[in-house]
Amino acid sequence: MADVSPAPASDLEAAPPARRAALTAALLAPVRRIPETARKRAGLALLMAFALLFPLIVRNAGDIDAAANALAFAMLALGLNIVVGFAGLLDLGYAAFFAIGAYIYGMVGSTQITPPWTDVWQPLQWLGLVSRAHVAGGPDLVHLHVSFWLMLPGAALAAACFGLLFGAPTLRLRGDYLAIVTLGFGEIVPIVVRNTPDWTNGPMGLNGVNSPQMFGFRFGVTSIPYYYLAAVLVALLIFVSYRLKDSRIGRAWMAIREDEIAAGAMGVNRTRLKLMAFAMGAAFAGATGTFYVAKLGTATPDMFQFPVSVMVLVMIVLGGMGSVPGVVLGALLLQLLQSWFLQDLTQWVHALGRLVGSQGLQQVELVQTIELIFGIILVLMMLYRREGLIPASRTTAPLSLTEQAAMPSRGGIGASLSGIRDVPLPAGTPMLEVRGLTKRFGGITAVKDLGLTILPRTVVGLIGPNGSGKTTFFNLVTGLDAPDAGRVFLMGEDVTGLPSHAIVERGIARTFQSLRLFANMTVLENVLVGMHARTRANAVGAVLLPRSVRAEERDTREWAMEVLAIFGNRLLPRVNHLASSLSYANRRRLEIARAVASRPRLLLLDEPTAGMNPAETMELAEQIRSLNTMGLTVLLIEHKLNVVNTISDKVAVLDYGEKIAEGRAEEVHRNEDVIRAYLGRTAAARV
Ligand code: ADP
Ligand code: MG
């Protein structure tokens, strides 16, 4: 899709942008001819060669050290990117996990903690994790020197546990509230560190932290080995980030970022996934902390204050939230700006000051103004380039007329979809049964003592004036709202009060009246999220990609394409377009496709044809009918009576939250109460 050639150079008066695009295309043509994978590989190889040769090229220890630090910040940015960029959880206290990782290694890799020796320590001594130190005139002490290589994953794991601990009570909060709570954690951790001097040496900081050792070679204070280690770690974290991003887990995170409620309604367990993002981000920071403290040999609480959290956040905003190469670039740029460019610039300003004899200029210290510079960067990015230097989602060129015409025409819904099967229920069991369902919002009773039975394989139309409680009824059935009274049974099982993701798992999928697509995800990704409840891959599987996960991913994609094909050429040619770029009618179709992807038994459609013209409406009605023929039971809220009449086996009418009529369409239309509800009392009298 990315290789779609630009619109043919128009012979009409070519506007300057079009001409420029044509010129760029001509220049890039030879590059374009190389297949995309080969291009990517070549780019990657060049980048790796550069990273490898960098210390040999610059040769200046200070510069290599700055590069190693910049890479450490790239690791932090990659971690925070999972939390903020992927899952959309604004974390203002990310430095807390950096501190935790640093102090955990600092404490077990230095002589800060020296308990008296007892034989309990013996096994650890055999393992080489501690040693027995003789002290003149006192009892023997334990010296901890747990290996750096052990603590790199160890501290990551520990930080992840803290992530779970901090996240569990707070992740129910959203947006601003979450940001404020995380800000609190970011403040608490350095305070705790400062006030537990026995463990952390308080404000003075830890000293003499062991540097890593490899094959008998100790890293010490030379920067080259740290540079290479950091480069390897960054490469590893980039790999992990990419694997996660393109997986079931990554898509669920992005779904939460885009629309939490819709994510839940598509089967994403929001609490679990948010905790996972938080823990994963914390793990990245924990490993970075260990690296950083080992490199410096020291750690003080001041190294992990609020400005660090802000700096990492600025890196992400600069590079592009959610974009893996973007955040790495952002981190490297900002860190190198700080350590190289600002120092050089300060020298130049001083020189200028001497030249023009200005005292003021000679005293400027630009490095001190870094926070001001961060602020300016943030303002400029928000004003001119919100998506960052390397945006996370590429915009796809709209389809040309020829492309649209070349696609097979509409109406191509096949006789069956492989994933929708009609599994017969025990005789007499309704697909859905609600009894006495009631929901109040303050003084309004939106749904009042509602009872409704929906038999398998039927299409039931739910109609009623605006505000009669239809959408609220859907929310109660799908777990978005909890009823004040009454029960909901799905295929005989009581599902009242279950969270929305559990209800999708049991077989109810829905669409929303006010569209709730994942706007910044592609059409295909939207549908893939719909499959969340039917797939199993976890984070480890997503990273390691064993055969089973690969197979699952392939099947999921095949199924998604099959579902998109329900709508013929409406969605298929646009699979790689962002959902936000779709027309209104196509968005409605995509919502239906996303719901069908979850392989439901019962499909709830909330005004699916709203905003469609008569031809599109009838097309959709036909498609809903065919879904029903394949075995889906459908409950449909609809205002267009011709649709309701043609496809419903039964119609139920709500008014002020109460069911006022139920039966075949023509019976219902003759019902006095229904006419009154729709047209008012006088009209009913005239009929
Ligand atoms: P319909 O879908 O039939 O048009 P709704 O179910 O959206 O009707 O609304 C039914 C009634 O409940 C309306 O009076 C509406 O104002 C009210 N209502 C719906 N949701 C809420 C809510 N979250 N808070 C307060 N009132 C609500
Ligand atoms: Mg409604």
Given pLDDT bands bounded at 50, 70 and 90, which one contains residue 106?
very high
Q: Is the dihedral of CA 313, 317, 323, 327 positive or negative?
A: negative
User: Backbone phi, then psi, for 428, in 5-degree steps?
Assistant: 85, -5
Q: What is the pLDDT of residue 687?
A: 46
- Alpha carbon distance 631, 417 (integer Å): 10
Question: Would you say 501 and 267 are in contact if contact means Cβ atoms under 8 Å apart?
Answer: yes
Q: What are phi and psi of 63, to 5 degrees?
A: -70, -40
Per-residue confidence (pLDDT) for residue 8, from 0 to 100: 44
User: Are the C-beta atoms of residues 643 and 617 closer than 8 Å to each other?
Assistant: yes
Average pLDDT, the chain: 89
Residue ranges covered by each domain of the chain: 60-109+147-304, 112-145, 429-507+600-687, 517-599
Mean pLDDT across 473-494: 96
How far is ligand 1, taken at its centre, from the CA of residue 470, in Å?
8
Nearest atom (ligand 1) to Cα of 442: 25
Residue 686 pLDDT grade (very low, low, confident, very high; cuts 50, 70, 90): low
Question: Which CATH code for domain 517-599?
Answer: 3.40.50.300
Report the atom number in ligand 1 closest to the C-alpha of 469.
Answer: 6
Return d(Cα 500, Cα 264) in angstroms, integer. Answer: 6
- Which pLDDT belongs to residue 415? 58
- The answer, yes or no, to whether residue 409 has pLDDT greater than 90, is no
451 CB near ligand 1 (under 6 Å): no
Q: Is there an atom of ligand 1 within 6 Å of 471 CB?
A: yes
pLDDT digits (tens, 9 = 90+) for 4-47: 444 444 444 445 666 777 777 777 777 777 788 888 889 899 99
The pLDDT tens digits for 621-644 are 999 999 999 889 999 999 898 899
pLDDT for residue 497 is more than 70: yes
Q: What is the pLDDT of residue 6?
A: 45
Q: What is the pLDDT of residue 55?
A: 92
For residue 489, how far is its CA from the centre of ligand 1 (angstroms)? 23
Lowest mean pLDDT among 15-19, 241-245, 438-442: 15-19
User: When comparing pLDDT for 470 and 131, which is higher?
Assistant: 470
Q: Is 475 in the pocket of ligand 1 (CB under 6 A)?
A: no
599 falls in which pLDDT band (50, 70, 90)? very high
Q: Which helix (H) or strand (E) holds 142?
A: strand 141-144
Between 231 and 131, whose confidence is greater? 231
How far is ligand 1, taken at its centre, from the CA of residue 225, in Å?
Answer: 63
pLDDT given at position 65: 94
With a pLDDT cut of 70, the percent of the chain lying above it is 94
Q: Does any ligand 1 atom lie closer than 6 A to the CB of residue 441?
A: yes
- Residue with tokens 């903690």, as numbered in its chain: 113
Q: What atom of ligand 1 comes closest to residue 468's alpha carbon?
A: 3
Helical (H) or strand (E) element with 279:
helix 270-296
What's the average model confidence in pLDDT over 382-386? 90
Give residue 578's pLDDT.
Answer: 94
In angstroms, the CA 19 to CA 10 distance is: 9
Pick the ligand that lies closest to the CA of residue 481: 1
Which of 261, 439, 441, 478 most suits a substitution to test ligand 1, by most atoms within 8 Å of the C-beta?
441
Q: How far is the CA of 684 from the centre of ligand 1 (A)?
A: 26
Nearest atom in ligand 1 to 654's CA:
3
> Are 429-507+600-687 and 517-599 in the same CATH fold?
yes
Mean pLDDT, rounded, for 368-375: 84
The number of the ligand 1 atom at minimal distance from the alpha carbon of 470 is 3
Reported as a pLDDT band with limits 50, 70 and 90, residue 270 is very high
Using the atom order of ligand 1, give the atom closest to the CA of residue 637.
2
Q: Which fold has domain 429-507+600-687?
A: Rossmann fold (3.40.50)
Name the residue of 444, 477, 511, 606 to mutate for ligand 1: max ligand atoms within 8 A of Cβ: 444
606: Cα separation from own chain's centroid: 26
* pLDDT at 175 exceeding the cut of 90: no
If one counts every other C-beta atom within 10 angstroms of the C-beta of residue 100, the result is 27
516: Cβ–Cβ under 8 A, 6 or more apart, which residues? 259, 261, 262, 265, 591
Residues 222-248 have a mean pLDDT of 96
CB 637 within 8 A of CB 463: yes
CA distances to 97, 507, 643, 667 from 453, in Å:
52, 16, 21, 18
pLDDT in tens, 315-328: 999 999 999 999 99
Sheet containing 493-494: order of strands: 444-454, 432-441, 485-490, 493-494
* 472 CB near ligand 1 (under 6 Å): yes
* Residue 467, ligand 1, Cβ within 6 A: yes
Q: Report how far ligand 1's centroid is from the alpha carbon of 466 (Å).
A: 9
Compute the 3-state secondary structure of the chain and give helix, strand, coil in percent, each to the nearest 5.
60, 10, 30
What does the pLDDT read at residue 426? 87
Ligand 1 lined by 338 (C-beta under 6 Å): no
